[in-house]
Amino acid sequence: MNNSFWKAGHTPTLFAAFLYFDLSFMVWYLLGPLAVQIATDLSLTAQERGMMVATPILAGALLRLLMGFLADRMSPKSAGIIGQLVVIVSLSAAWLIGVDSYHDTLLLGLGLGFAGAAFAVALPLASQWYPPEHQGKALGIAGAGNSGTVLAALFAPGLAYLFGWQNVFGLALIPLVATLIIFTLIAKNAPDRPKPKTGSDYLIALNDKDSWWFMFFYSITFGGFIGLASALPGYFSDQYGLNPVIAGYYTAACVMAGSLMRPLGGALADRIGGIRSLLCMYGTASVCIALVGFNLSSSVAALALFVTAMLGLGAGNGAVFQLVPQRFHREIGVMTGLIGMAGGVGGFVLAAGLGTIKQHTGDYQLGLWMFAALGLLALLGLVGVKRRWRTTWGSSAMTTARI
């Protein structure tokens, strides 16, 4: 990154957006690394465990529409503060009152959904400060907050082993409250924010076929990232007999790869174009997931393939949002909500689907192959629309940024 990037926007706000996103994703993902321990104590089936880790993903997906609407009508900063307070209350209740049944885990998942909705706050907050030629880098840095999943995967199982998984909810409040204070103090809304959107603007956006393409593409990249991140602790435990802490370390390696590649994916898309980047990423991820589906005997080999797949999916997340502001610059709040929702729905379907398939077939193979097939379908769809994009809105976008 050159000096022009750091002079173009507001660095403290970019940092605040990243930090807010990072800690929000940490708690949004919290049930994933704890899934094996919770399922053991509450005697949950594979399908119930899958639904437990998938519920925050779906709740976050749907709530992104609400948070995107609030970010437009109020401001990204105000919406972020409201969402963070809801998450703090939810975690406090889980810690103090307790989570004693499958239905309690689902209720907690609904509250944690507000943390997943941070996506609709952090990205507009950062994006509105930066010109088109720096959108990929700015949104990549802000979006790298999905690295919070790494923190949860690394530390949650170990803390649960030492203090009990219920107390992990209380421990998570410490960094969450600190982040809320920092966010409140240093984040600033951009001075030239787009005009607030109404509910009908979302319906208008859905009439544009490009909206559906972006939603589908992101349901594979981000949906694959968060869906796999939530399912992998259970996968490594079931498939290779790893204990929860080691399974958490394996998962942390995977999600770290995907998280680190998001900003790099945005920067790469700025350099070679978002479409070209996405084509490479879909191909890489699909092949690796398909190979894992052959039930490799070595956990290390499976880990290597999952890490490579997550590198592709993470870079794909950055590439998608390098393209979105170019196509929907004035509708970035609306589109962030819609596309983010689609990504969350994709993650819910993947996490819940893997658990359901495991429950009824005794194996993850079919679920992994189905996801790989969807990745190839996204690749073919992108090939189909790239000429139209490059000769319509892309022709003007290419004067300032590459598609």
Task: Summarize pLDDT for 9-27 with one digit per residue, the tens.
Answer: 788 898 999 999 999 999 9
Q: What span, in angstroms and rounded, lies between the C-alpha atoms of 125 and 108?
A: 27
Distances 286 to 166, 269, 283, 308, 311 between C-alpha atoms, Å = 36, 20, 5, 10, 12
Within 10 A of 7 (CB to CB), how many other CB atoms are there? Answer: 9
- Assess whether pLDDT exceeds 60 at residue 370: yes
Residue 261: per-residue pLDDT: 86
- Asked whether the predicted pLDDT for residue 135 surpasses 60, the reply is yes
**Mean pLDDT along residues 145-150:** 80
Distance, CA of 80 to CA of 321 (rounded, Å):
20
- Residue 81: its pLDDT value, please? 94
Question: Hey, is 193 helix, strand or coil?
Answer: coil
Instruction: Name 52's Cβ contacts closer than 8 Å, sequence gap at least 6.
Output: 31, 35, 38, 39, 44, 102, 105, 106, 109
pLDDT averaged over the chain?
A: 88
| Residue percentage of the chain with pLDDT more than 90 | 59
Residues 228-263 have pLDDT tens digits of: 999 999 999 999 999 999 999 999 999 999 888 877
**148 neighbors 25 (Cβ within 8 angstroms):** yes
The H-or-E segment that residue 185 falls in is helix 165-186
**C-beta of residue 133 within 8 angstroms of C-beta of residue 28:** no
97 pLDDT band, cuts 50/70/90, is: very high
For 55, 121, 136, the CA distances from 325, given in Å and listed in that order, are 29, 15, 9
For the chain, the distance separating the N- and C-terminal CA atoms, rounded to the nearest angstrom, is: 18
Both structure tokens of 75: 């401001």
The CATH class that applies to domain 12-187+199-397 reads mainly alpha
Q: pLDDT category, 378, cuts 50, 70, 90?
A: very high
| Alpha helices, H only, 273-392 | 274-292, 299-327, 332-361, 365-391
DSSP, res 146:
G
Query: Which pLDDT score, from 0 to 100, does residue 345 have?
Result: 94
Higher pLDDT, 120 or 231: 231
Gap between the Cα atoms of 40 and 35, Å rounded: 8
Closest CA relative to residue 25, chosen from 353, 324, 314: 314
Kindly indicate the confidence band of residue 377, based on its pLDDT and cuts at 50, 70 and 90.
Answer: very high
Q: Residue 81 and residue 42: Cα distance in Å, rounded?
A: 33
Rounded Cα distance, 332 and 16, in Å = 19
Which of 71-85, 125-139, 152-166, 269-283 is the least confident region?
125-139
pLDDT at 9: 76
User: How is 276-309 classified by DSSP, letter by letter?
Assistant: HHHHHHHHHHHHHHHHHTTT-S-HHHHHHHHHHH
Structure tokens at 178: 């600190």
Cα–chain center distance at 313: 10
| In the predicted structure, residue 1 carries a pLDDT above the cut 60 | no
Sequence-ordered alpha helix ranges (H) in 33-146: 35-42, 46-73, 76-97, 102-116, 119-127, 135-143
User: How do residues 288-346 score in pLDDT, each as one tens digit?
Assistant: 999 999 989 999 999 999 999 999 999 998 888 888 877 887 776 678 778 888 999 99
Predicted pLDDT at 11: 85
Task: Say how far apart CA 145 and CA 20 lie, in whole Å.
Answer: 8
Asked if 281 and 315 touch (Cβ cutoff 8 Å), the reply is yes
pLDDT on residue 200: 78
What percent of the chain has a predicted confidence (pLDDT) above 70? Answer: 94
Domain ranges of the chain: 12-187+199-397
